């Protein structure tokens, strides 16, 4: 992928992730629970 297209993809992904985390019901809780399990497993 050319640099210009890649940067457009990055910008699109960024906007999609922000909107998803903020507005999709339950998504942020699910992500945080997965992160909590990851930390509890790997922070030893």
Partner 1 sequence: MGVLRIILQIVGIVVLILAVTIITLRIDNQDADGPSILFPGGKLVSGELYAGFEPDWSFTDEVQTIELQLVNPLSSRTIFIMESDGKVYIPSGYMRSTLGRIWKDWAFQADEGDGLAVARINGVRYERQLIRVKEGPVLDGIVAKMATKYNPGATPATPEAIKAGRESIEVGNTWIFEMAPRGAQLDEN
**Choice from 4, 8, 21, 24 touching partner 1 (CB under 8 A):** 21
| 10 touching partner 1, by CB under 8 A | yes
First CA to last CA distance, the chain: 40
| 35 touching partner 1, by CB under 8 A | yes
Helix residue spans in the chain (DSSP H): 3-23, 27-42
- The whole-angstrom separation of Cα 30 and Cα 20 is 12
Q: Where does this chain bind partner 1 (CB under 8 A)?
A: 1, 6, 9-10, 13-14, 17-18, 21-22, 28-29, 31-33, 35-36, 39, 42-44
């Amino acid at each position: 992928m050319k640099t210009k297209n890649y940067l457009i993809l990055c910008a699109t992904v960024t906007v999609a992730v922000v909107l998803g985390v903020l507005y999709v019901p339950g998504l942020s809780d699910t992500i945080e629970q997965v992160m909590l399990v990851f930390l509890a497993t790997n922070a030893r």
